[in-house]
């Protein structure tokens, strides 16, 4: 007899999950400007832990409850833009390391993190708040990650800016809007900076223009070093996509698996010396993560993600009973 969770995982790791891996491999190789699904959208864990919570309306309080997966410092988190989920879009056309740099070997997929979520792009495209052709550090940006950085004092009245969490328009002393100087000045229509933002359908109060194609073109046209500030500031490694927290929460409550059809782990990942080579072993670790169980239907398949295999990076992780046969 298997446990309830194990049975659920095993039932999901069936033909449909094999099809999902093949579909993701196809999406990764798709022409990003012509395909309705321009790549693989995922959220990676950059630290030692992962948090499934989406923190909205935090009132910029200091609390260990609000510690972001990117940084364990609650004092810093209270100053960061909230109600956003930063994700990345990978596509073979712009996600392969052209040279050995930024910690990647030439030809590898430029993706950081050993665990994460894979989104159903069609299901979440309406929740895109904005997109960037590079990593911009959205936690320091007004309008929940879609505007200008809170350190750009030239945009603030008398050089006095609120932090990104407070999100105050220094000219009106009210919350920033889509037309606020501290937001609109950094739109790609007004700025020529590589770090400018492109609007998404959920840009402000649930409305906005879908400018994903413009972002993709900017990404394809990008030139220059991937890590201009050194290996710990990989600006050019990936495109950053900001998902609106409120919209995404509603969709996850309705049908988690339709929004996030799979988790992924780095191929050959080990924890405390144990190789996570089966669905069951990974779920043993997933159940320890903050926020697991928050939504119904979270027992989705786990895929192996191999950054050294750009032709077919995604593969369904086998069940424990299959491991000995597949990996003797």
Give the model confidence (pLDDT) of 120-150 as tens digits: 999 999 999 999 999 998 999 999 999 999 9
In terms of pLDDT, which residue wins out, 45 or 281?
A: 281
Partner residues linked to 85 by β-bridges: 243
Q: Which band of pLDDT confidence, cut at 50, 70 and 90, is reported for residue 233? A: low
Q: Which band of pLDDT confidence, cut at 50, 70 and 90, is reported for residue 76? A: low
pLDDT at 118: 96
Classify each residue of 21-39 as buried b or exposed e, where b means 16 or more C-beta atoms within 10 Å of its C-beta. Answer: beebbebbbbebeeeebbb
> Do 118 and 261 form a contact (C-beta atoms < 8 A)?
yes
Q: Which band of pLDDT confidence, cut at 50, 70 and 90, is reported for residue 10? A: very low
From 110, 113, 90, 92, select the one nearest 40 (Cα to Cα): 90
pLDDT at 298: 87
In the predicted model, what is the mean pLDDT of residues 1-12?
Answer: 39
Give the model confidence (pLDDT) of 288-325 as tens digits: 888 888 888 888 999 999 999 999 999 999 886 555 44
Q: Which of 47-56, 73-82, 85-94 has the lowest mean pLDDT?
A: 73-82
Q: Which band of pLDDT confidence, cut at 50, 70 and 90, is reported for residue 171? A: very high
pLDDT at 326: 39
Q: What residues contact residue 140 under an 8 Å CB cut-off, 6+ apart? A: 80, 81, 149, 150, 151, 164
From 238, 230, 234, select the one nearest 132 (Cα to Cα): 238
pLDDT at 232: 59
CA dihedral 210, 211, 212, 217 (to 10 degrees): 160
pLDDT at 48: 60
pLDDT at 73: 54
Q: What residues contact residue 46 under an 8 Å CB cut-off, 6+ apart? A: 69, 70, 112, 113
C-alpha distances out from residue 61 to 75, 77, 291, Å: 9, 9, 19
Element of type H or E holding 10: helix 4-12
In the predicted model, what is the mean pLDDT of residues 194-207?
Answer: 96
pLDDT at 163: 93
Whether 82 has a pLDDT exceeding 50, the answer reads yes
pLDDT at 7: 39
CA pair distance 153, 149, nearest whole angstrom: 9
The backbone torsions φ and ψ at residue 252, rounded to the nearest 5 degrees and listed phi first, read: -65, -35
In terms of pLDDT, which residue wins out, 18 or 284?
A: 284
pLDDT at 74: 53
pLDDT at 14: 42
Supply the mean pLDDT for the chain: 86
Percent of residues, the chain, with pLDDT higher than 90 = 59
Classify each residue of 276-291 as buried b or exposed e, where b means 16 or more C-beta atoms within 10 Å of its C-beta. Answer: bbbbbbbbebbeebee
Q: Residue 43 CA to chain centroid, in angstroms?
A: 3
> Do 219 and 133 form a contact (C-beta atoms < 8 A)?
yes
pLDDT at 47: 60
Long-range contacts of 22-28 (CB under 8 A, 24+ apart): 24/118, 24/262, 24/303, 24/314, 25/311, 25/312, 25/313, 25/314, 27/121, 28/90, 28/91, 28/92, 28/95, 28/310, 28/313, 28/314
pLDDT at 57: 84
Whether 175 has a pLDDT exceeding 60, the answer reads yes
Q: Which band of pLDDT confidence, cut at 50, 70 and 90, is reported for residue 4? A: very low
CA pair distance 318, 194, nearest whole angstrom: 41
pLDDT at 46: 64
Whether 68 has a pLDDT exceeding 60, the answer reads no
pLDDT at 237: 86
């Amino acid at each position: 007899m298997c446990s309830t969770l194990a049975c659920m995982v095993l039932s999901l790791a069936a033909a449909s999950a094999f099809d999902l891996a093949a579909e993701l491999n196809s999406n990764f190789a798709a022409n990003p400007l012509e395909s309705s699904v321009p790549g693989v959208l995922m959220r990676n864990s950059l630290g030692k832990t992962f948090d499934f919570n989406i923190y909205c309306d935090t009132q910029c309080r200091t609390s260990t409850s609000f510690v972001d997966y990117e940084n364990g410092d609650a004092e810093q988190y209270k100053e960061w833009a909230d109600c956003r989920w930063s994700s990345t879009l990978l596509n073979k056309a712009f996600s392969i390391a052209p040279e050995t740099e930024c910690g990647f070997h030439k030809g590898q997929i430029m993706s950081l993190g050993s665990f994460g979520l894979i989104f159903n792009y069609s299901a979440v495209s309406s929740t895109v708040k904005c997109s960037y052709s590079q990593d911009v550090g959205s936690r320091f940006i007004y309008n929940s990650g879609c505007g200008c950085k809170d350190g750009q004092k030239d945009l603030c009245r008398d050089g006095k800016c609120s932090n990104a969490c407070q999100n105050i328009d220094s000219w009106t002393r009210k919350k920033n809007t889509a037309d606020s100087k501290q937001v609109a000045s950094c739109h790609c229509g007004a700025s020529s900076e590589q770090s400018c933002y492109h609007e998404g359908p959920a840009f402000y109060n649930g409305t906005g223009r879908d400018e994903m194609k413009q972002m993709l073109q900017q990404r394809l046209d990008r030139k220059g070093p991937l890590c201009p500030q050194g290996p710990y500031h990989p600006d050019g490694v990936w495109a950053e996509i900001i998902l609106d927290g409120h919209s995404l929460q509603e969709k996850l409550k309705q049908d988690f698996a339709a929004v996030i059809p799979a988790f992924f782990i780095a191929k050959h990942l080990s924890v405390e010396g144990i190789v996570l080579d089966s669905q069951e072993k990974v779920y043993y670790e997933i159940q320890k993560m903050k926020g697991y169980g928050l939504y119904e239907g979270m027992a989705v398949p786990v895929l192996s993600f191999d950054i050294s295999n750009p032709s077919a990076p995604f593969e369904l992780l086998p069940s424990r009973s299959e491991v000995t046969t597949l990996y003797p």
